[in-house]
Amino acid sequence: MEPVILASIVLIGGFILALALGAPVAVAMGVPSALAIVVLLGWDSGALTSAQRLFTASNSFALLAIPFFILAGGLMNTGGIAQRLIDLAQVIAGRVPASLAQTTVVSNAMFGAVSGASVASAAAVGSVLSPPMKKAGYDPAFSAAVNAAASPAGMLIPPSNTFIVYSLVSSTSVAALFMAGIGPGLLWALVCMAMVALYARKRPELRGGQHVTLRQAGIVLVRAVPALLMIVIVIGGILSGIFTATESSVIAVLYSLVLGLIQKTLPVRALPSITLEAAKTTAIVMLLIGVSGILAWVMSFARVPVLVADALLGLTDNTVVILILIMIILLLVGTVMDPTPAILIFTPIFLPIVVQLGVDPIHFGAMMVFNMCLGNISPPVGNNLFVAARVAGVRIEPMISRIMPFFWALTAALFIVAFVPQLSMWLPTIMGLTTP
C-alpha cells in the first residue's frame, strides 16, 4: 500500500476512533497526525518533524494575545464589569417589550465586546438575569435559549480570540478581521432582538417595557463608562497603530486589574484562581494550535487541500454553490467541534478555494466565524447550550425547541454575511486596512 494512502487511513481512522472513544479533540488531532507522519517518514524523522511542527505552530508573537484576553475576561467577570454592562443594557432596552430578554441580548453583545468569549458571556449574563426573568414570568427554558443564542456575538465583535486564531492560519490582518466582525456581530444581535420581539407579541404580559428615569439612566451610564472606555482604548490603539493586538491584550489585563482594584470590586484573594483558570483555558487552546501544525503538515504532504479544491471545482465553478457547500460542511462540523480546532483544520482546506474564486480572505474569515458561532448554539452539543442551561437551572431538552427559531433565523443571517460582503468589508475598507 502506498505510504500516502496508509497515512491518510491512519489519520482519518485515528481521528474518528479517538473522538468515538471520547478523547479530547487535541488528542484526537495530534496523535493520529503524528502517527501519519511516522508512516510517511519513518520513526526518527517522523518524531522530529512532529516536534518541530508542534513548536513552530505555537511559536507566534500574535498568539500571546489569546492568554491575555482570556485573563482580561476573567478579571472583568469577577470584578463587576459584567454587572455594570448589564445595567447599561437594561437602560438601553428597558422601554421595549420583553425588556429583560432584550437586555439579555444587548448585555451579551456588550460583554462580548470586552471579553471576546461567548461562553464567559453566557455564564456572566445568565447568572445575573435568569432570576429576575423567572420572577417576571418568563419561561425559564426560553430565558436560557435567549442567553445561549445571543452569547456568540462576543466571538464576532472585537476583540475576538477566534479571529486571532483565523489570522494566524490565514496570514491576514488581525485589525482588519476585528473591524470585519463588527457588522456581522451587530447583525447577530439584531436578529436575536427581532426573535425576542416576535416572542413578546404572543405574550401580552411581556409587551410593556420597564420605565427607567433619566436620572437612573445617567447614573448607570457613568458607572459603565470605564468599562466602555476599555473597548475604545484597545480597539482604537490597534487601529491607530499605537500598539499591536498582542500589546492591546496586555493593556486590557492591566486596565481590568487596575479598574477592579480602584473600584474595590475585584478581591485580591481571587486573583490566583482567576489566573489559574486563564492558564487552564490557554493551555487547551495552545495545545490545539500546536497539534494543528502537525495536522497541517500531513494534509499539505498528502495534498489534501488540492484534492478537496479539485473535487469541489470539479462539481461546479459557481461561487454561490461552492460557498453554500462550504457553509453546510462548516455548519455540520460546528455541531460537534469547537471553533478553534475547526478553524485550524478547515481554513487551510477552504481558504485557497474561495480565494481562487475571488472571495476576500477577510470576508471569508467573517463568514467562517459566523458559521462557528452557529455551531456553538446548534443542538444537541453546542457548548453555549450547556452553559446557558446550567446557569439558568433548566434541562437542555426543553431549551432545544425554544432555540430552534433563533437558530434558523441566524442561519438566514449567515447567507447575508456570505453573499453581502459589504457587511463585513466596509469598515476594513474605509479604514484602509484592506483594499476595496
Please identify, among 36, 59, 82, the residue that sits at the C-terminal boundary of a domain.
59
Residue 207 in this model has a pLDDT that exceeds 60: no
C-alpha grid cell, residue 36 = 501519519
Domain count, the chain: 2
Q: What is the pLDDT of residues 148-162, one digit of tens each?
A: 899 888 788 887 878
- Rounded CA separation 417/76 (Å): 30
Q: Could you tell me the residue range of the domain that residue 3 belongs to?
A: 1-59
- Rounded CA separation 31/143 (Å): 41
Residue 266 — very low, low, confident or very high, per pLDDT cuts 50/70/90? confident
Residue 376 in this model has a pLDDT that exceeds 70: yes
Q: Same structural domain for residues 12 and 141? A: no
Q: What is the pLDDT of residues 212-241, one digit of tens each?
A: 667 777 887 788 788 778 777 877 887 777
- Rounded CA separation 108/93 (Å): 13
State mean pLDDT over 347-376.
90
Residue 397 lies in a domain: yes
Q: Same structural domain for residues 79 and 180? A: yes
State mean pLDDT over 360-367.
94
pLDDT for residue 343: 86
Residue 387 — very low, low, confident or very high, per pLDDT cuts 50/70/90? confident
pLDDT for residue 335: 72
Q: What is the pLDDT of residues 174-195, one digit of tens each?
A: 889 989 999 999 999 999 999 9
Residue 248 lies in a domain: yes
| Most confident by average pLDDT, 42-46, 378-382, 384-388 | 42-46
pLDDT for residue 117: 65
pLDDT for residue 98: 76
Residue 1 in this model has a pLDDT that exceeds 80: no
Q: What is the pLDDT of residues 120-155, one digit of tens each?
A: 777 777 777 788 888 777 888 888 999 889 988 878
Q: Same structural domain for residues 83 and 12? A: no
- Distances 111 to 98, 208, 295, 422, 432 between C-alpha atoms, Å: 20, 25, 34, 25, 27
Q: Same structural domain for residues 34 and 98? A: no
Residue 119 in this model has a pLDDT that exceeds 60: yes
User: Which residue, among 280, 345, 300, has the nearest Cα to 15 in the 3D structure?
Assistant: 345
Please identify, among 59, 87, 105, the residue that sits at the C-terminal boundary of a domain.
59
pLDDT for residue 155: 82
Q: Same structural domain for residues 51 and 181? A: no
Residue 280 lies in a domain: yes
Residue 47 in this model has a pLDDT that exceeds 60: yes
Q: Same structural domain for residues 312 and 413? A: yes
Q: Same structural domain for residues 390 and 304? A: yes
Residue 436 lies in a domain: no
Residue 435 lies in a domain: no
274's CB contacts (< 8 A; 6+ apart) are: 71, 74, 75, 78
Q: Same structural domain for residues 52 and 94? A: no
Q: Same structural domain for residues 35 and 150? A: no
pLDDT for residue 116: 60
Residue 393 in this model has a pLDDT that exceeds 90: no
Please identify, among 44, 59, 74, the residue that sits at the C-terminal boundary of a domain.
59
Q: Same structural domain for residues 128 and 36? A: no
pLDDT for residue 365: 94
Q: Same structural domain for residues 208 and 80? A: yes
- Distances 370 to 94, 149, 375, 376 between C-alpha atoms, Å: 28, 12, 9, 10
- Mean of the per-residue pLDDT values of the chain: 82
Q: Same structural domain for residues 263 and 216? A: yes
